[in-house]
A and B are shown apart, each in its own frame.
Chain A
């Protein structure tokens, strides 16, 4: 079945350093979504990418969707302690029309002040 892989599983950075998490799907995706889950919290939607090669920015966060629509990345510039949490990518299958999401296992970010 369809799989979505994320690396790294954990990342510890000093406040002010940059952070990147990578997401790869075994199949072509119609779109990819990114969510953030704080410790003890629930996933919160960050962004959705639909077009091949799409790049979107939200302040210090930059999201990319690969040309083949099988991979994506999230880059955070100059991390802050408020960035702590687990970042998940989630893909919707190319032939799916239900909105069913296949989540990666997430990258947990720790930021040292």
Chain B
């Protein structure tokens, strides 16, 4: 399919472990966003890429969270030394235009992360 692809769909990790979540955006989409969605809440912005440049990381909760998009396509969100409060669904979205503004965002199915 031509949608946003995220893997894994589910991830269970023990507290203190590192995890890596992958996002494959729609081909040609310049803008890529990561959101965190807690149960019963709306998605909360984490970070934004324009091609390979990370232009906004104001939503990352702590320095344990790190995101990259080295070649301007696939992106990885890494969480180090996971804590129980990191348990959530992590959504990736991409949009078409360079600025990302005023454009619909296309979401992947998300990765449901559970920290034991």
Contact = CB atoms under 8 A, between A and B. Distances in A.
A33 B104 contact: yes
Interface string A73-113: 00000000000000010101000111111111110000000
Contact of B43 (A6, A43, A45, A99): A43
Interface string A50-80: 1000000000000000000000000000000
B33 A102 contact: no
Contacts, number: 73
Interface string B38-56: 0011111100101000011
Contact of B48 (A6, A41, A100): A100
Given A97-B99, A98-B99, A99-B99, A42 B108 contact: yes
Interface residues of A, number: 26
A103 B43 contact: yes
Given A42-B107, A42-B109, A43-B107, A99 B45 contact: no
Interface string B19-50: 00000000000010101000011111100101
B33 A99 contact: yes
B72 interface: no
Contacts of A27: none
A106 B31 contact: no
Given A42-B110, A98-B31, A100-B33, 16 more contacts: A30-B101, A31-B101, A33-B105, A43-B93, A43-B107, A45-B106, A48-B102, A48-B104, A88-B43, A98-B50, A98-B101, A99-B100, A103-B42, A103-B44, A105-B42, A106-B41
Interface of B: 31, 33, 35, 40-45, 48, 50, 55-56, 91, 93, 95, 99-110
